Chain A
């Protein structure tokens, strides 16, 4: 029963995709729509193959930016949460600004950053800005979700602050941290793309978003679709990798990684 349900869960979306692509292809061919209006899926795929040298280089640039932004977000978010956890005063002083940074749309911040920072730095900073808040807030939540009795036990045996942090708070916060990282991965990609778009063709960048903007000006619509497809796939892969890491780390003990049978 569950086997068929699992197969069904994989087959159904695939079938929807196939039907959708076939319809799209059919509409384009029957109506003889020009590729600069709406390219057929096969034309997009052909472009993906023929433009692969250009597109793959852009993909590399965007992925590198995303990775840098993600690492900065992960390190910054976790470090800041640890500092906040150790000092309430620091938390009271700085937390509002973290919120402000989060609620201000990054698309509005990006042009300013591009004025004051070298372009590559500005793009990474954008990726960092959108990625770091989920890590910060999730880690904070995790560090404060420690079992009260376990905390009492650590107190009873005279645990130092560092011991409490290392053996109690960090492991207890781990599922929350991994959840935050999972969100931050996708957001870093969005931040990188937003900054690339803001930088536009004026910049020296050559990321995927830059390719999309550039192809738009040249009415190279198939390439726009191909670049968009690569961005989506990149986002899916990033999410998948982080979900897998989370599962592997937590599978022995955390509810989220356990089968329903347990």
Chain B
């Protein structure tokens, strides 16, 4: 990672979970994917990154996760330094190991961090209970539906009890009914577990429904083009999805998104 003006503990002290400053990403083939991007995510906040395909929102998420380094600028993620892994990541696909059952898949992060076996069982059970899959611990991924696989993926991200959850279009491939249900479950988890969530999506409706703040990004190289605070009565539930207030937010956000969709075509 590039040299950081702020240390991880400074970010933590400022009440931030993630801070990006002038972060850019240029790939080896010369394609400029992202930025420069300035972004602060407060602790406990639910932020959605919204933009057209290929706008670099997934790249931004990978920078936060440390899966790739910024070409310039800084990326800081708060780290309590108490030995817990600070980040949980949920990919677009469930990304499960097909040869391992649900329990072993969820155990993976603990195993990789050398958590003693005696401790793991209880934490795996807890994570599976959180996503409502307690009864499926011994099933193999192929025996599960798309929505259930995604729940396993979520349980795996939660099992290390991370402060920050990074989600890369996790529900994009699911049918609408399953997606709505997972949206509600995710909101409930977020309220109960006090996590910071950065949620990448290309769905206006999903971003408004889930997040406290919607960040609209431009087409490649991705930059922030607009920002909306979604202020409504919490906790949100299905009524919000059909409310006029929700429709209003969706209209505003869609309008802000429109220019980025015409971008690549006119270029």
Contacts and interface: CB of A to CB of B under 8 A. Distances in A.
Interface of A: 147, 149-150, 152-159, 163, 167-168, 171-172, 174, 252-254, 258, 262
Contact of A253 (B65, B67, B92, B98): B98
13 contacts: A147-B95, A149-B91, A152-B91, A153-B108, A155-B67, A156-B67, A156-B87, A157-B112, A163-B111, A167-B108, A167-B112, A253-B141, A254-B99
Nearest to B87: A156
A149 B99 CA distance: 16
Contacts of A167: 97, 108, 111-112
B142 A258 contact: yes
Interface of B: 62, 65-67, 85, 87, 89, 91-93, 95, 97-100, 108-109, 111-113, 140-142, 160
Contact of B67 (A147, A150, A152, A258): A152
Chain B binding surface SS class: loop
Contacts of A172: 99
Given A152-B89, A153-B89, 16 more contacts: A150-B95, A150-B97, A156-B65, A156-B67, A156-B87, A157-B108, A157-B112, A158-B113, A159-B112, A163-B111, A171-B100, A174-B99, A253-B98, A253-B141, A253-B142, A254-B98
A157 B142 CA distance: 24
B229 to A, nearest CB: 30
B87 A153 contact: no
**Complex A-B, nearest 4 residue pairs according to Cβ-Cβ distance, in ascending order:** A149-B95, A157-B112, A149-B91, A171-B99
A contact face: mostly helix, strand, loop, or mixed: helix
A158 B112 contact: yes
Contacts of B112: 154, 157-159, 163, 167
A253 B140 contact: yes
Nearest to A168: B97
A205 to B, nearest CB: 42
A262 B97 contact: no
Given A157-B109, A167-B108, A167-B111, A262 B67 contact: no
